[in-house]
Amino acid sequence: MLNMVKFHTVGLVSRLGSETAVDTTKKLIQFLSDLDCGVVLESDTAASLPEFGIPEASRDQLGSACDLVIVVGGDGSLLGAARAVVDEGVPILGVNRGRLGFLTDISPDEIESRVTEVLTGNYLSEERFLLEMAVMRDGEQIGGGSALNDVVIHPGKFIRMIEFEVYVDNQFVYSQRSDGLIITTPTGSTAYALSGGGPLMHPSLDAIGLVPINPHTLSSRPIIIAGNSNIRLLVGMQNTAFPHVTCDGQTHVVTQPGDEIVVTKKAKKLTLIHPQEHDFYETCRRKLGWGSHLMD
C-alpha cells in the first residue's frame, strides 16, 4: 500500500568488511546530513567510520533510537538487522551492496532519489513474518532464536545423514533420514529453500514451507503448510552426529538425540520498505533470469 509517513531519524547498518558498502554508507551519511535528517550508526558500523563522530547505538538498541533503519549490504546484512529491530516495529529499507539482493532492492546509483522518496513518504511497505525457534530438552528450553528467512536442521560440520520426526499441530507427518530440513517463510523461499528445490512463495502468503535436504527417499517432497502451524521436530535417538539448528544461517544451537525443536510464527512482524515501483515478479525475472514478454 502507498504510505505517507515521514521519517526523521535514520539508523544505518553497513555490511562489515566490504569497502563498497562502507563507501556507499559514507555517501548516504553525507546525503542525510545535507537533508538535516538525524543519523544513528549501529555500533559495529560506527567502528569502521570513526571520522564522522555520529551518535551510535548497539544493534539491540538501534530500534529504539530511530524511526527507520537503512541497511547497506546484502540480504544477509538485512536479515541480522531485521531480527534485532523487529520487536521495536521499526521499518527497514535495503540498499544492495551484496550479491543477489532479493531484500535489498535499491541500487547504489539511485540512493539519493530513492531515499528522498522514502523520507517524504513515497514508498511501498509490506509486512513479513518471522519464525520463532526453541530447542527443548527434558521439558526445558536450552536455546532458541528467530528467523526472517528460515530455520534449518542439519548435521553441522559432519557429512552424515540425520534422523528426525516431523509433527505439525501435534499430528505426525513423517520420519525422515536426510541431510536435514529447511523450514522457510515466504521471504526465505527465494534463498536456501530455492536452492534445495523448494517452491517460490509470494511474500503476501501466510504459509510455511518444509523442504527436505537430500532425503534418502525419492518420495520425499517439499510441502506447504498454514502459517499459524506449530511445527515440532523430534531428533532421533540413533543419530551419530549432533544436529545443528540455525536461524537465517547466522545463529545456531546444537541439539542432542531426544531433543525437540519447536518452530512457530513470531508474533511481531517486520515492516519492509520498497520503492514505489517495486514488483515481486519483476524482481524474480531480473534476479533469476526469467523470460520477459514474448512481444513488446
Active site residues: 75
Answer yes or no: is 188 a known binding residue. no
On the 0-12 / 13-18 / 19+ scale of CB atoms within 10 A, 274 is: buried
d(CA 246, CA 134) in angstroms, rounded, equals 11
Answer yes or no: is 206 a known binding residue. no
Nearest to residue 54, comparing CAs of 90, 9, 103, 89? Answer: 9
Answer yes or no: is 190 a known binding residue. yes
Answer yes or no: is 294 a known binding residue. no
First to last CA, the chain: 28
d(CA 236, CA 79) in angstroms, rounded, equals 30
Q: Which residues contact 292 (CB under 8 A, 6 or more apart)?
A: 285
* Paired residues of 231 in beta bridges: 168, 263
Answer yes or no: is 84 a known binding residue. no
Answer yes or no: is 47 a known binding residue. no
Answer yes or no: is 28 a known binding residue. no
Answer yes or no: is 75 a known binding residue. yes
From residue 141, alpha-carbon distances to 137, 172, 237 in Å are 6, 22, 19
Answer yes or no: is 149 a known binding residue. yes
d(CA 146, CA 106) in angstroms, rounded, equals 25
Answer yes or no: is 193 a known binding residue. yes
Under DSSP, the state recorded for 47 is H
Binding residues for NAD(+): 75-76, 149-150, 160, 177, 179, 190-195, 250
Binding residues: 75-76, 149-150, 160, 177, 179, 190-195, 250
